């Protein structure tokens, strides 16, 4: 069966009544069948997961072609678990200049206090990556496309270097939702996702997942999440599981709408550059074509605004595009990104011309979204002419 079918029919169908969806158990205590079970190595306890967690983990294993999935309470905690599971005091972790800011901060602030050094790298500079690996590193943390700036890494080449230098690889796969990219197929050791984004899909719950097929890493992630007491409540797991049923269908509309918007924006005088890996104008378009089977609803563009008040005029005129963090839900969002960029190894500013905006194309009719953008561009040109 194809993946979309398996994501719908992955129910065990157990329990007193056969329901389409799993029963939603709310439980800390699980009543054990007999006294002997009290002394078994892994006595059942709610924190280790209930039926809904097991079904969600199975769905995510299907999606990411992984043997093992561990759920976490947020996307950020998934990133933190993946990084922390692969390092110990005295190690070094290589961190992409373009990964999600809070993941970078976890490595640079939290792991540092645990005796782990972090070193940044430019996700497009294989020579630099090889040099850093040859100096010694336990793990490398990638995100492709990069958060906010959408660089596509040459992941298979980085994996080859990593294996040669005994470095474990982590990739944040939230952008593709596991629908358009399977990092483990590209040789990556650990894939992570913020389920909060596309898997939940309705901007109403948090969740994260860490996926791997490496038995040694499975052990590390199990131990670490047990030691830290990491678990996710059944309601949030349920929201994520429900999202898996419609994930591919939603993603194909997010993809189509984002492409329509990106193509339209490419022809607008108020836009200096559209940054979308599926456009041939993107510098890493060939890598995207090779490693991804599609694109999601998130992309960027450089607005031709020469100061803050022009930027504010554009944003203030939008009605459908809401201003807000996160993405992946049914609603369209836009945020200015300049303040969130911190680059140490790659020079983003030199190629930059205008204000960087990140767009999430929601599930509204794309014609209405284009009309909304037009309101913004009209307000921008009025501002420029005053
Ligand atoms: C949002 C996001 C996260 C964090 O997810 P939360 O659920 O908000 O903690 C991690 N990585 C990427 C790429 C994200 O976009």
Specify the domain boundaries for CATH 3.90.1150.10 within the chain.
246-384
- Find where tokens 């790659």 sit: 346
Per residue in 278-298, pLDDT (tens digit) is: 999 999 999 999 999 999 999
- Verify whether ligand 1 is closer than 6 Å to residue 194 (CB atom): yes
**pLDDT tens, 136-164?**
999 999 999 999 999 999 999 999 999 99
User: From the CB of 74, is ligand 1 less than 6 Å away?
Assistant: yes
> Looking at residue 13, what is its pLDDT?
57
- Residue 232 near ligand 1, beta carbon < 6 Å: no
Residue 352: the pLDDT is 73
Indicate if ligand 1 lies below 6 Å from the C-beta of 174. Answer: yes
Q: Can you read off the two tokens belonging to residue 48?
A: 């280790």
Position 384 pLDDT exceeds 70: yes
Query: 171 alpha carbon to ligand 1 midpoint, in Å?
Result: 13
Counting every residue written for the chain, the total comes to 386
pLDDT computed for residue 14 by the predictor: 60
Q: Does domain 3-242 have CATH number 3.90.1150.10?
A: no
Residue of 59 and 353 predicted with greater confidence: 59
Across the range 237-264, mean pLDDT stands at: 98
Kindly report, residue by residue over 20-50, the tens digit of the pLDDT: 888 889 999 999 999 988 888 776 899 999 9
CA of 44 to the centre of ligand 1 (A): 30
Enumerate residues 6+ apart whose C-beta is below 8 A from 379: 313, 314, 316, 317
Given 197, 242, 250, 345, which residue is catalytic? 197
Please state the φ and ψ torsions of residue 149, each to the nearest 5 degrees.
Answer: -115, -10
Q: Which of 73, 74, 76, 146 is the pocket-test mutation for ligand 1 (most atoms within 8 Å of CB)?
A: 76
From 70, 92, 97, 100, the catalytic residue: 100
Q: Is the CB of residue 359 below 6 angstroms from any atom belonging to ligand 1?
A: no
Give the span between the Cα atoms of 306 and 115, in whole angstroms: 44
Domain with CATH 3.40.640.10 in the chain: 3-242
The pLDDT value given to residue 258: 98
pLDDT recorded at residue 114: 97
Q: Which atom of ligand 1 is nearest to 325's Cα?
A: 1
**Taking 60 as the threshold, does the pLDDT of residue 92 lie above it?**
yes
Residue 238 is among the residues annotated as catalytic for this protein: no
273 CB near ligand 1 (under 6 Å): no
- CA of residue 35 to ligand 1 center, whole Å: 43
Q: Does ligand 1 lie within 6 Å of residue 206's CB atom?
A: yes
Arithmetic mean of pLDDT, 239-268: 98
Q: Is the peptide bond before 145 cis (omega within 30 degrees of 0)?
A: yes
Predicted local confidence at residue 195, as pLDDT: 98
CA distance 57 to 41: 22
197 labelled catalytic: yes
> Is 165's pLDDT higher than 60?
yes
The sheet carrying 117-121 orders its strands as 68-72, 208-212, 190-194, 168-172, 139-143, 92-96, 117-121
The answer to whether the Cα torsion of 340, 154, 92, 115 is positive or negative is positive
Distance CA 299, CA 305 (A): 18
Percent of the chain with pLDDT over 70: 97
Please give the pLDDT value at position 312. Answer: 97
**CATH 3.90.1150.10 describes domain 246-384:** yes
Tens of pLDDT, residues 296-350:
999 999 999 989 999 999 999 999 999 999 999 999 999 999 877 877 877 776 5
Is 100 one of the annotated active-site residues of the chain? yes
The answer to whether 357 and 301 have CB atoms below 8 angstroms apart is yes
> 């047990």: which residue's tokens?
226
Tens digit of pLDDT for each residue in 187-244? 999 999 999 999 999 999 999 999 999 999 999 999 999 999 999 999 999 999 999 9
Supply the pLDDT for residue 18: 78
The whole-number pLDDT of residue 350 equals: 58
Query: Residue 12 has what pLDDT?
Result: 59
| Residues 116-126 pLDDT 10s | 999 999 999 99
Q: How confident is the prediction for the chain on average, in pLDDT?
A: 94
112 is catalytic: no
Torsion angle of the four alpha carbons 216, 220, 226, 232, in this order, in degrees rounded to the nearest 10: -90
């Amino acid at each position: 069966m194809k993946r979309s079918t398996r994501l719908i029919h992955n129910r065990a169908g157990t329990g007193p009544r056969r329901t389409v969806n799993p029963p939603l158990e709310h439980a800390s205590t699980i009543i054990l069948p007999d006294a002997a079970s009290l002394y078994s190595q892994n006595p059942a306890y709610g924190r280790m997961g209930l039926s809904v967690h097991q079904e969600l983990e199975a769905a995510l294993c299907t999606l990411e072609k992984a043997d093992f999935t561990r759920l976490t309470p947020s996307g950020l905690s998934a990133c933190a678990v993946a990084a922390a599971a692969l390092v110990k005091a005295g190690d070094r972790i290589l961190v992409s200049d373009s990964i999600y800011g809070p993941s970078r901060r976890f490595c640079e602030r939290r792991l540092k206090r645990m005796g782990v050094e972090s070193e940044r790298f430019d996700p497009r500079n294989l020579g630099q990556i090889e040099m850093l690996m040859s100096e010694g590193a336990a793990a490398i943390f990638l995100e492709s496309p990069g958060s906010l700036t959408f660089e596509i890494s040459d992941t298979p080449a980085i994996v080859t270097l990593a294996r040669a230098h005994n470095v474990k690889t982590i990739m944040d796969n939230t952008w593709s939702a596991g629908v358009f990219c399977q990092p483990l197929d590209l040789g990556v050791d650990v894939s992570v996702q913020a389920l909060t984004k596309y898997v939940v899909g309705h901007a109403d719950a948090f969740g994260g997942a860490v996926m791997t097929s490496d038995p040694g890493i499975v052990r590390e992630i199990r131990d670490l999440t047990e030691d830290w007491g990491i678990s996710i409540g059944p309601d949030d797991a349920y929201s994520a599981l429900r999202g898996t049923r419609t994930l591919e269908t939603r993603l194909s509309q997010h993809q189509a709408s984002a492409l329509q918007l990106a193509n339209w924006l490419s022809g607008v005088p108020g836009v200096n550059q559209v940054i979308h890996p599926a456009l041939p104008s993107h510098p890493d378009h060939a890598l995207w074509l090779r490693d991804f089977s599609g694109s999601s609803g998130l992309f960027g563009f450089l607005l031709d605004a020469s100061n803050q008040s022009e930027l504010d005029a554009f944003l203030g005129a939008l009605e459908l595009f809401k201003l807000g963090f996160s993405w992946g839900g049914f609603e369209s969002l836009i945020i200015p990104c300049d303040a969130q960029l911190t680059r140490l190894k790659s020079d983003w500013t030199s190629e930059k011309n205008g204000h960087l905006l990140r767009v999430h194309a929601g599930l509204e009719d794309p014609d209405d979204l284009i009309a909304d953008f037009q309101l913004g561009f009209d307000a921008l040109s009025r501002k420029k002419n005053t």
